[in-house]
Amino acid sequence: MELLLNIVIYLPLFGAFLLLFIRRAEWVKWTSLFITTAAFVLSLPLLLQFDISATGSAQYLTVSEPLLGDWDVKYMMGLDGLSMLLFMLTTFMAPIVVLSAWRSIDKHVAGFYSMLLILQTGSLGVFAALDLFMFYIFFELTQIPMFFLIGIWGGENRIYATVKFFIYTLVGWLLMLVALIYVGFAAGNMVNDGVFTTDWRLLTDPSFQLGLVEQTWLFLAFGFAFCIKVPIFPFHSWLPLAHTEAPTAGSVVLAAIALKMGTYAILRFLIPLFPNAAIAFAPMFAVLGVIGIIYGALVAMVQKDVKKLVAYSSISHLGFVVLGMFAFNTVGAQGAIIQMVNHGLSTGALFIIIGMIYERRHTRMIADFGGIAQKMPVFTVMFMMATLASIGLPGLNGFVGEFLILVGTFNSEVLGSYWYAVIGAVGVILAAGYMLWMFQRVMFGPITHKENNDLQDINAREIAVLLPLMLFIVWIGIRPTDFTKYSEAEVTRMLEDVQLRASVVVDNASGEDLPGWALHLYDVTPQLAANLDNETEEVEE
């Protein structure tokens, strides 16, 4: 199974290399579809044989010898409860993305699909990497194809959107690289006989305890990079522009896969590596999450471009994910993970749907539509399901994630206030307002533009693209435990470990060394530690 995991990761990269020798555009498309479908089929045994009760170590683990001389940097890949669903989401969405671009891309076809395949390998590597340095390498690999997908095949302002996207992410991740190197040397001195290490098993060892000063600055460095990638307000301004200028397939990849890297990295690295800082800064992140929820909804409400409206709705949805992660309880974190999947499905479906109508009308302005439900009944049903899933209608997938996040936030001892949940719930109401209003203006009413009289309903290929998404939208809404069961045990263990490590942390510097604005934040940590006296005594013994 370890070999199978690596085949799934690198099969798309092999496919990208293969496309260099194919000249006919149709053969390029069919080869890309075959490669991505094969990767998805091969990934199914990884899901079916996954032990949902196993915690504390990754399954299908591949560990190499150190790669960088005297530094303990390994090729270490595996899957656990935190990464399983996102890994499968990536393999599932890849053939759908290929099909979504079938008719819309007519220049440099081999280059376009090569970029999609390279991006898939990078994304799968991000979710499977268990060495912090390897995670960084795979993440940087995803930046290259996204740069070209937007910059070559994007809209009129694609160059500006590409440069802004690249600068934002590059600055954040270079700062993270510096912090990563510091963590590697610190871990080496504490748990690896003085040898630099980014081995995830050593970084989460109970004996690896950074002081509050170190945690504060390293948390901010890592957090800055991850906040940009999510993106969290106020680091969000690159996202609507990138979504709007990207081709349909690029927008789907960005929404369904790329944005999940930031939220996943927070859950995988930021919170476990710096437990005291994560708990101390939790209210701040919750505030940013709530602002993102409301801000994204309000700005989406006034958009005239339907694609930009969905892009701003992503900011709102990802605010919920942040809120759930920093609730620091199993319910909230479970909601955050399933909401990552839900956002990929429903928002990915919306971008595909917008791409379909754009191919027919060559406009995304809401005012240019109206009454098209009369001409496109099947399209209307698909659009309606994706819209209702996005606003969290009970019985569809969006409801499950938002409900778990709001319940977890309401009961969060770390956040200490139910107002985060109350304000978040207002965001749900606003989402219903702007999404339904958009749907009503686009689909219903009289046909006021003669071009809409000639619209043709979606064809068999387009139905085949949307039908799998609709299936999972309904399946998760009706039977969410079929999906949440994969992460529940690992999430519970991770949060218990974070709370325990926070309660026994050894401060390597005096409190005066902390910046004044940060010192008072740690008042929450003793409160949490007081609830864990028994566990603390056991660790000390």
Residue 537 lies in a domain: no
The answer to whether the peptide bond before residue 234 is cis (omega within 30 degrees of 0) is yes
Residue 491 lies in a domain: no
501 lies in some domain? no
355-391 pLDDT per residue, tens: 999 888 888 899 888 889 888 999 999 999 999 999 9
- The amino acid at residue 91 is T
HEC assignment per residue over 257-291: HHHHHHHHHHHHHHHHHCHHHHHHCHHHHHHHHHH
Judge if 262 and 154 occupy the same domain.
Answer: yes
pLDDT exceeds cutoff 50 at 530: no
What residues are paired with 72 via a beta bridge?
Answer: 197
Judged against a pLDDT cut of 50, whether residue 512 lies above it is answered with no
Same domain for 99 and 118, yes or no, is yes
Both 291 and 268 in one domain: the answer is: no
Report if residue 529 sits inside a domain. Answer: no
Task: With H, G, I as helix, E, B as strand and everything else as coil, classify residue 82.
Answer: coil
**Whole-number Cα distances in Å, 529 to 273, 414, 478, 494:** 17, 11, 38, 16
pLDDT digits (tens, 9 = 90+) for 59-109: 898 888 888 878 889 899 999 989 999 999 999 999 999 998 888 888 888
- DSSP-derived letter for residue 72 is B
Q: State how many domains the chain has.
A: 2
Residues 213 and 323 in one domain: no
Say how many CA atoms lie within 13 Å of 333 toward its Cβ. 25
389 and 473 Cβ atoms separated by less than 8 Å: yes
Residue 527 has a pLDDT of 42
Which helix (H) or strand (E) is 339 found in, with range? helix 330-361
Question: Tell me, what's the pLDDT at 505?
Answer: 54
Question: Between 86 and 155, whose confidence is greater?
Answer: 86
Can you give the pLDDT at residue 526? 43
The C-alpha atoms of residue 114 and residue 397 are separated, in whole angstroms, by: 32
Q: Please check the confidence at residue 513 and state whether its pLDDT lies above 80.
A: no
Q: What is the pLDDT of residues 95-154, one digit of tens each?
A: 999 998 888 888 888 999 999 999 999 999 999 999 999 999 998 888 889 888 888 888
pLDDT at 509 over 60: no
Ramachandran category for residue 396: left, alpha or beta (phi over 0 → left; psi -120 to 50 → alpha)? beta
Q: Where are the beta strands (DSSP E) in 464-513?
A: none
Spatial contact of 291 and 370, defined as CB atoms under 8 Å apart? no
In the listed set 425, 452, 478, which residue is the last one of a domain according to the structure? 478
Last-in-domain residue among 478, 498, 527: 478
Q: Of 443, 463, 478, which residue sits at a domain end?
A: 478
DSSP 409-475: HHT-TTT--THHHHHHHHHHHHHHHHHHHHHHHHHSS---SGGGGG-----HHHHHHHHHHHHHHHH
Measured in Å, how far apart are the chain's first and last C-alpha atoms? Answer: 39
Same domain, 409 and 459: yes
Whether residue 135 is found in the same domain as residue 27: yes
Residues 205 and 111 in one domain: yes
Is residue 490, in this structure, part of any structural domain at all?
Answer: no
Among 86, 102, 94, 107, residue whose Cα is nearest residue 12: 94
**Statement to judge: residues 300 and 266 lie in one domain:** no
The parent domain of residue 259 ranges over: 1-274
Query: Which tens digits make up the pLDDT trace of 312-329?
Result: 998 999 999 999 999 999
240 near 312, Cβ under 8 Å? Answer: yes
Same domain, 237 and 97: yes
For residue 117, count CB atoms less than 10 angstroms from its CB and return exposed for 0-12, middle for 13-18, buried for 19 or more. Answer: buried
Query: Do residue 356 and residue 438 come from a single domain?
Result: yes
Query: For the residues 257-277, what does the mean pLDDT come to?
Result: 88
What is the rounded CA–CA span in Å between residue 184 and residue 182? 5
Average pLDDT over residues 229-258: 85
Is-contact 398 321, C-beta < 8 A? no
100/355 Cα distance (integer angstroms): 8
Q: Each residue of 130-143: pLDDT tens digit? A: 999 999 999 888 88
**In the predicted structure, residue 31 carries a pLDDT above the cut 90:** yes
Is residue 522 very low, low, confident or very high in pLDDT (cuts 50, 70, 90)?
low
Co-location of 230 and 343 in the same domain: no
Does residue 172 sit within a domain?
yes
